[in-house]
Amino acid sequence: MSTCAVTGASGHLGRLVVEELLARGVAAADVVAIVRTPDKVADLAERGVRVRTADYSSPETLSAAVRGADVLLLVSGNEVGQRVPQHTAVVEAAKAEGVGRVVYTSVLRATETDLALAPEHAATEEVLRASGVPFTLLRNGWYTENYTDRLEQYLATGEIVGAAGTGRIAAATRQDYAEAAVAVLTGEGHENAVYELGGTPFTLADLARVITEVTGTEVVHRDLTAEDLTQELVAAGLDEDTAGFVVSLDVSTAGGALDTDSDDLATLIGRPPTSLVDAVRAARA
Ligand SMILES: NC(=O)c1ccc[n+]([C@@H]2O[C@H](COP(=O)([O-])OP(=O)(O)OC[C@H]3O[C@@H](n4cnc5c(N)ncnc54)[C@H](OP(=O)(O)O)[C@@H]3O)[C@@H](O)[C@H]2O)c1
Protein backbone atom coordinates (compact mmCIF):
# COMPACT_ATOMS: atom_id res chain seq x y z
CA MET A 1 0.00 0.00 0.00
CA SER A 2 1.34 3.46 -0.79
CA THR A 3 1.95 6.05 1.90
CA CYS A 4 0.07 9.34 1.72
CA ALA A 5 1.33 12.30 3.73
CA VAL A 6 -0.74 15.42 4.41
CA THR A 7 0.67 18.71 5.72
CA GLY A 8 -1.57 21.14 7.58
CA ALA A 9 -3.41 18.13 8.99
CA SER A 10 -4.33 20.15 12.08
CA GLY A 11 -6.12 22.71 9.92
CA HIS A 12 -9.62 22.69 8.52
CA LEU A 13 -8.80 21.34 5.07
CA GLY A 14 -5.95 19.00 5.99
CA ARG A 15 -8.01 17.32 8.68
CA LEU A 16 -10.91 16.79 6.28
CA VAL A 17 -8.48 15.21 3.81
CA VAL A 18 -7.16 12.80 6.44
CA GLU A 19 -10.70 11.93 7.51
CA GLU A 20 -11.70 11.35 3.89
CA LEU A 21 -8.68 9.12 3.24
CA LEU A 22 -9.69 6.97 6.21
CA ALA A 23 -13.34 6.99 5.14
CA ARG A 24 -12.29 5.75 1.69
CA GLY A 25 -10.59 2.77 3.30
CA VAL A 26 -6.97 3.90 3.26
CA ALA A 27 -5.32 2.20 6.24
CA ALA A 28 -4.46 4.61 9.04
CA ALA A 29 -0.90 3.24 9.04
CA ASP A 30 -0.55 4.42 5.43
CA VAL A 31 -1.51 7.99 6.32
CA VAL A 32 1.04 10.48 7.67
CA ALA A 33 -0.33 13.65 9.28
CA ILE A 34 2.32 16.39 9.30
CA VAL A 35 1.62 19.09 11.89
CA ARG A 36 3.31 21.73 14.01
CA THR A 37 1.31 20.84 17.07
CA PRO A 38 0.71 17.11 17.57
CA ASP A 39 -1.76 17.74 20.39
CA LYS A 40 -4.22 19.08 17.83
CA VAL A 41 -4.38 15.70 16.10
CA ALA A 42 -4.11 13.39 19.13
CA ASP A 43 -7.39 11.81 18.07
CA LEU A 44 -5.93 10.90 14.68
CA ALA A 45 -2.87 9.35 16.34
CA GLU A 46 -5.19 7.29 18.54
CA ARG A 47 -6.80 5.95 15.38
CA GLY A 48 -3.42 4.83 14.05
CA VAL A 49 -2.53 7.74 11.77
CA ARG A 50 1.22 8.38 11.83
CA VAL A 51 1.68 11.88 13.19
CA ARG A 52 4.95 13.68 12.44
CA THR A 53 5.96 17.10 13.68
CA ALA A 54 7.39 19.66 11.29
CA ASP A 55 7.30 23.39 10.62
CA TYR A 56 7.48 24.89 7.12
CA SER A 57 9.78 27.53 8.63
CA SER A 58 12.24 24.97 10.00
CA PRO A 59 13.62 23.17 6.94
CA GLU A 60 15.58 20.74 9.12
CA THR A 61 12.28 19.28 10.38
CA LEU A 62 10.85 18.55 6.95
CA SER A 63 12.91 15.68 5.50
CA ALA A 64 12.05 13.28 8.30
CA ALA A 65 8.41 14.34 8.06
CA VAL A 66 8.01 13.52 4.36
CA ARG A 67 10.30 10.47 4.35
CA GLY A 68 8.77 7.40 2.75
CA ALA A 69 5.75 9.25 1.34
CA ASP A 70 4.67 8.08 -2.09
CA VAL A 71 2.43 11.09 -2.42
CA LEU A 72 2.42 14.30 -0.37
CA LEU A 73 -0.36 16.84 -0.09
CA LEU A 74 1.21 20.23 0.59
CA VAL A 75 -1.57 22.33 2.06
CA SER A 76 -0.59 25.96 1.51
CA GLY A 77 0.30 27.71 4.75
CA ASN A 78 -1.59 30.62 6.23
CA GLU A 79 1.30 32.94 7.05
CA VAL A 80 0.87 35.31 4.12
CA GLY A 81 4.23 36.79 3.09
CA GLN A 82 6.19 33.81 4.41
CA ARG A 83 4.80 31.16 2.15
CA VAL A 84 7.25 31.05 -0.75
CA PRO A 85 10.29 30.11 1.35
CA GLN A 86 8.09 27.86 3.51
CA HIS A 87 6.64 25.95 0.57
CA THR A 88 10.02 25.85 -1.16
CA ALA A 89 11.47 24.13 1.88
CA VAL A 90 8.75 21.47 1.73
CA VAL A 91 9.32 20.88 -2.00
CA GLU A 92 13.08 20.62 -1.47
CA ALA A 93 12.57 18.08 1.31
CA ALA A 94 10.19 16.09 -0.91
CA LYS A 95 12.75 16.07 -3.71
CA ALA A 96 15.59 15.07 -1.40
CA GLU A 97 13.52 12.24 0.06
CA GLY A 98 12.31 10.94 -3.29
CA VAL A 99 8.62 11.60 -2.68
CA GLY A 100 6.76 10.27 -5.70
CA ARG A 101 4.42 13.21 -6.25
CA VAL A 102 3.53 16.49 -4.55
CA VAL A 103 -0.05 17.72 -4.68
CA TYR A 104 -0.32 21.44 -3.89
CA THR A 105 -3.37 23.51 -2.93
CA SER A 106 -3.05 26.61 -5.09
CA VAL A 107 -5.62 29.20 -6.14
CA LEU A 108 -7.77 29.65 -9.24
CA ARG A 109 -5.74 30.69 -12.30
CA ALA A 110 -2.76 31.33 -10.03
CA THR A 111 -0.49 32.55 -12.79
CA GLU A 112 -2.97 34.89 -14.48
CA THR A 113 -5.23 36.33 -11.82
CA ASP A 114 -4.90 39.74 -10.17
CA LEU A 115 -5.94 38.28 -6.80
CA ALA A 116 -3.57 39.65 -4.16
CA LEU A 117 -3.12 36.18 -2.66
CA ALA A 118 -2.03 34.61 -5.93
CA PRO A 119 1.66 35.58 -6.34
CA GLU A 120 2.77 33.29 -3.51
CA HIS A 121 0.81 30.41 -5.04
CA ALA A 122 2.19 31.11 -8.53
CA ALA A 123 5.73 31.21 -7.12
CA THR A 124 5.16 27.90 -5.33
CA GLU A 125 3.82 26.35 -8.52
CA GLU A 126 6.99 27.50 -10.30
CA VAL A 127 9.21 26.02 -7.59
CA LEU A 128 7.34 22.75 -7.90
CA ARG A 129 7.61 22.64 -11.70
CA ALA A 130 11.32 23.47 -11.56
CA SER A 131 11.97 20.78 -8.92
CA GLY A 132 11.39 17.92 -11.31
CA VAL A 133 9.19 16.19 -8.73
CA PRO A 134 5.93 14.99 -10.32
CA PHE A 135 3.13 17.25 -9.14
CA THR A 136 -0.60 17.94 -9.23
CA LEU A 137 -1.95 21.45 -8.82
CA LEU A 138 -5.30 21.86 -7.10
CA ARG A 139 -6.18 25.46 -7.89
CA ASN A 140 -8.89 25.86 -5.29
CA GLY A 141 -11.51 28.56 -5.53
CA TRP A 142 -12.94 30.31 -2.50
CA TYR A 143 -14.37 28.32 0.38
CA THR A 144 -18.14 28.65 0.79
CA GLU A 145 -17.33 28.75 4.51
CA ASN A 146 -15.74 32.18 3.97
CA TYR A 147 -19.38 33.32 3.83
CA THR A 148 -21.34 30.75 5.81
CA ASP A 149 -19.03 31.24 8.80
CA ARG A 150 -20.38 34.81 8.88
CA LEU A 151 -24.02 33.78 8.75
CA GLU A 152 -24.81 35.03 12.26
CA GLN A 153 -23.23 38.39 11.46
CA TYR A 154 -25.25 38.70 8.25
CA LEU A 155 -28.44 37.84 10.12
CA ALA A 156 -27.69 40.24 12.96
CA THR A 157 -26.95 43.19 10.65
CA GLY A 158 -29.40 42.25 7.91
CA GLU A 159 -26.81 42.92 5.24
CA ILE A 160 -23.82 41.62 3.34
CA VAL A 161 -21.49 44.54 2.73
CA GLY A 162 -18.86 44.43 0.04
CA ALA A 163 -17.37 45.94 -3.07
CA ALA A 164 -17.55 42.81 -5.19
CA GLY A 165 -20.45 44.12 -7.28
CA THR A 166 -21.91 41.43 -9.48
CA GLY A 167 -18.69 39.43 -9.54
CA ARG A 168 -19.41 35.71 -9.62
CA ILE A 169 -17.90 33.56 -6.89
CA ALA A 170 -17.49 29.88 -7.78
CA ALA A 171 -17.05 28.82 -4.17
CA ALA A 172 -17.20 25.25 -2.92
CA THR A 173 -17.07 23.75 0.53
CA ARG A 174 -13.85 22.56 2.14
CA GLN A 175 -15.37 19.07 2.11
CA ASP A 176 -15.70 19.28 -1.68
CA TYR A 177 -12.06 20.37 -2.04
CA ALA A 178 -10.97 17.67 0.42
CA GLU A 179 -12.68 14.99 -1.64
CA ALA A 180 -10.99 16.33 -4.78
CA ALA A 181 -7.64 16.17 -3.00
CA VAL A 182 -8.26 12.58 -1.98
CA ALA A 183 -9.22 11.71 -5.57
CA VAL A 184 -5.88 12.96 -6.89
CA LEU A 185 -3.89 11.56 -3.95
CA THR A 186 -5.24 8.06 -4.37
CA GLY A 187 -6.05 7.96 -8.10
CA GLU A 188 -4.02 7.40 -11.24
CA GLY A 189 -3.27 9.76 -14.10
CA HIS A 190 -2.90 13.04 -12.21
CA GLU A 191 0.84 13.54 -12.82
CA ASN A 192 1.59 17.16 -13.74
CA ALA A 193 -2.12 17.94 -14.05
CA VAL A 194 -3.55 21.35 -13.21
CA TYR A 195 -7.13 21.47 -11.94
CA GLU A 196 -9.20 24.66 -11.67
CA LEU A 197 -11.63 23.88 -8.87
CA GLY A 198 -14.84 25.68 -8.05
CA GLY A 199 -18.55 25.19 -7.48
CA THR A 200 -21.65 26.76 -9.00
CA PRO A 201 -21.00 30.51 -9.15
CA PHE A 202 -23.06 32.99 -7.14
CA THR A 203 -22.96 36.73 -6.54
CA LEU A 204 -23.23 38.39 -3.14
CA ALA A 205 -26.80 39.35 -4.09
CA ASP A 206 -27.52 35.66 -4.72
CA LEU A 207 -25.98 34.87 -1.32
CA ALA A 208 -28.25 37.43 0.37
CA ARG A 209 -31.31 36.00 -1.38
CA VAL A 210 -30.43 32.41 -0.44
CA ILE A 211 -29.84 33.35 3.20
CA THR A 212 -33.17 35.17 3.26
CA GLU A 213 -34.98 32.17 1.78
CA VAL A 214 -33.32 29.59 4.03
CA THR A 215 -33.58 31.51 7.30
CA GLY A 216 -36.68 33.61 6.80
CA THR A 217 -34.73 36.66 7.95
CA GLU A 218 -34.23 39.34 5.33
CA VAL A 219 -30.63 39.95 4.40
CA VAL A 220 -29.71 42.37 1.62
CA HIS A 221 -26.55 42.93 -0.36
CA ARG A 222 -25.14 46.46 0.14
CA ASP A 223 -22.55 47.11 -2.53
CA LEU A 224 -20.09 49.94 -1.94
CA THR A 225 -17.30 51.55 -3.90
CA ALA A 226 -13.84 50.37 -2.96
CA GLU A 227 -13.20 53.74 -1.30
CA ASP A 228 -16.39 53.62 0.77
CA LEU A 229 -15.75 50.04 1.86
CA THR A 230 -12.22 50.94 2.90
CA GLN A 231 -13.59 53.80 5.01
CA GLU A 232 -16.19 51.53 6.64
CA LEU A 233 -13.60 48.89 7.48
CA VAL A 234 -11.18 51.43 8.94
CA ALA A 235 -14.02 52.99 10.94
CA ALA A 236 -14.81 49.49 12.23
CA GLY A 237 -11.25 49.16 13.54
CA LEU A 238 -9.23 47.55 10.75
CA ASP A 239 -5.81 49.04 10.08
CA GLU A 240 -5.32 50.65 6.66
CA ASP A 241 -3.19 47.80 5.26
CA THR A 242 -5.63 45.08 6.25
CA ALA A 243 -8.58 47.09 4.98
CA GLY A 244 -6.78 47.68 1.69
CA PHE A 245 -6.04 43.98 1.36
CA VAL A 246 -9.65 42.97 2.07
CA VAL A 247 -10.99 45.55 -0.37
CA SER A 248 -8.55 44.47 -3.08
CA LEU A 249 -9.96 40.94 -2.82
CA ASP A 250 -13.45 42.34 -3.42
CA VAL A 251 -12.25 44.43 -6.36
CA SER A 252 -10.65 41.33 -7.89
CA THR A 253 -13.86 39.42 -7.21
CA ALA A 254 -15.83 42.10 -9.05
CA GLY A 255 -13.49 41.53 -11.98
CA GLY A 256 -14.15 37.79 -12.02
CA ALA A 257 -11.08 36.49 -10.16
CA LEU A 258 -13.13 34.01 -8.12
CA ASP A 259 -15.22 32.77 -11.01
CA THR A 260 -14.72 29.65 -13.07
CA ASP A 261 -16.85 27.54 -15.34
CA SER A 262 -14.47 24.61 -14.99
CA ASP A 263 -16.15 21.34 -14.08
CA ASP A 264 -12.90 19.84 -12.76
CA LEU A 265 -14.24 19.73 -9.20
CA ALA A 266 -17.42 17.86 -10.11
CA THR A 267 -15.41 15.49 -12.30
CA LEU A 268 -12.89 14.71 -9.55
CA ILE A 269 -15.46 14.17 -6.81
CA GLY A 270 -17.98 12.39 -9.01
CA ARG A 271 -20.92 14.55 -7.96
CA PRO A 272 -22.01 18.19 -8.22
CA PRO A 273 -20.26 20.41 -5.67
CA THR A 274 -22.36 21.28 -2.62
CA SER A 275 -24.94 23.90 -3.56
CA LEU A 276 -25.06 27.28 -1.86
CA VAL A 277 -28.54 26.49 -0.52
CA ASP A 278 -27.31 23.26 1.09
CA ALA A 279 -24.24 24.99 2.51
CA VAL A 280 -26.37 27.73 4.08
CA ARG A 281 -28.84 25.15 5.42
CA ALA A 282 -25.95 23.20 6.98
CA ALA A 283 -24.50 26.34 8.54
CA ARG A 284 -27.93 27.28 9.90
CA ALA A 285 -28.32 23.81 11.45
N1 LIG B 1 -9.76 28.88 -0.71
C2 LIG B 1 -10.02 29.68 0.32
O3 LIG B 1 -11.08 30.33 0.41
C4 LIG B 1 -9.02 29.81 1.40
C5 LIG B 1 -9.34 30.53 2.54
C6 LIG B 1 -8.40 30.59 3.55
C7 LIG B 1 -7.18 29.97 3.39
N8 LIG B 1 -6.89 29.26 2.27
C9 LIG B 1 -5.61 28.57 2.05
O10 LIG B 1 -5.87 27.18 2.18
C11 LIG B 1 -5.09 26.64 3.25
C12 LIG B 1 -5.87 25.56 3.97
O13 LIG B 1 -7.09 26.12 4.43
P14 LIG B 1 -7.60 25.80 5.88
O15 LIG B 1 -8.96 26.34 5.98
O16 LIG B 1 -7.34 24.40 6.23
O17 LIG B 1 -6.62 26.73 6.74
P18 LIG B 1 -6.25 26.54 8.29
O19 LIG B 1 -7.35 25.89 9.03
O20 LIG B 1 -5.76 27.86 8.73
O21 LIG B 1 -5.04 25.50 8.26
C22 LIG B 1 -3.75 25.87 7.89
C23 LIG B 1 -2.86 24.72 8.25
O24 LIG B 1 -1.51 25.06 7.88
C25 LIG B 1 -0.67 24.79 8.98
N26 LIG B 1 0.49 25.64 8.97
C27 LIG B 1 0.51 26.98 8.89
N28 LIG B 1 1.78 27.41 8.96
C29 LIG B 1 2.55 26.32 9.12
C30 LIG B 1 3.94 26.12 9.29
N31 LIG B 1 4.78 27.16 9.33
N32 LIG B 1 4.40 24.87 9.42
C33 LIG B 1 3.56 23.81 9.41
N34 LIG B 1 2.22 23.94 9.25
C35 LIG B 1 1.74 25.18 9.13
C36 LIG B 1 -1.54 25.08 10.19
O37 LIG B 1 -0.96 24.50 11.34
P38 LIG B 1 -1.40 24.95 12.84
O39 LIG B 1 -2.65 24.17 13.15
O40 LIG B 1 -0.23 24.54 13.66
O41 LIG B 1 -1.62 26.43 12.80
C42 LIG B 1 -2.84 24.43 9.75
O43 LIG B 1 -2.78 23.04 9.95
C44 LIG B 1 -4.75 27.85 4.13
O45 LIG B 1 -3.58 27.62 4.88
C46 LIG B 1 -4.55 28.93 3.06
O47 LIG B 1 -3.29 28.81 2.42
C48 LIG B 1 -7.80 29.16 1.27
Residue pair 70/191 in contact by the 8 Å Cβ criterion: no
What is the residue with the minimal CA distance to atom 25 of ligand 1? 8
pLDDT at position 71 is 98
Instruction: Give the pLDDT band of residue 238 (cuts 50, 70, 90).
Output: very high
Q: Tell me, using a 6 A CB cutoff, whether residue 162 lines ligand 1.
A: no
Mutate to test the pocket of ligand 1, among 75, 79, 260 (most ligand atoms within 8 A of CB): 75
**From CA 14, how far away is CA 40, in angstroms rounded?**
12
Other CB atoms within a 10 A radius of the CB of residue 132 amount to: 8
Report the CATH superfamily, name and number, of domain 4-140.
NAD(P)-binding Rossmann-like Domain (3.40.50.720)
CATH topology of domain 141-172+197-260+270-285: UDP-galactose 4-epimerase; domain 1 (3.90.25)
Q: Tell me, using a 6 A CB cutoff, whether residue 78 lines ligand 1.
A: yes
pLDDT at position 194 is 98
pLDDT tens column, 138-182: 999 999 999 999 999 999 999 999 999 999 999 999 999 999 999
pLDDT at position 1 is 60
**From CA 57, how far away is CA 278, in angstroms rounded?**
38
Of the candidates 106, 48, 113, the one whose C-alpha atom is nearest the C-alpha of residue 77 is 106
Residues 6 or more apart from 245 whose CB is under 8 A from it?
116
Mutate to test the pocket of ligand 1, among 40, 72, 78 (most ligand atoms within 8 A of CB): 78
Domain boundaries of the chain, sorted by first residue? 4-140, 141-172+197-260+270-285
Q: Tell me, using a 6 A CB cutoff, whether residue 12 lines ligand 1.
A: yes
What is the residue with the minimal CA distance to atom 1 of ligand 1? 142
pTM summary value: 0.97
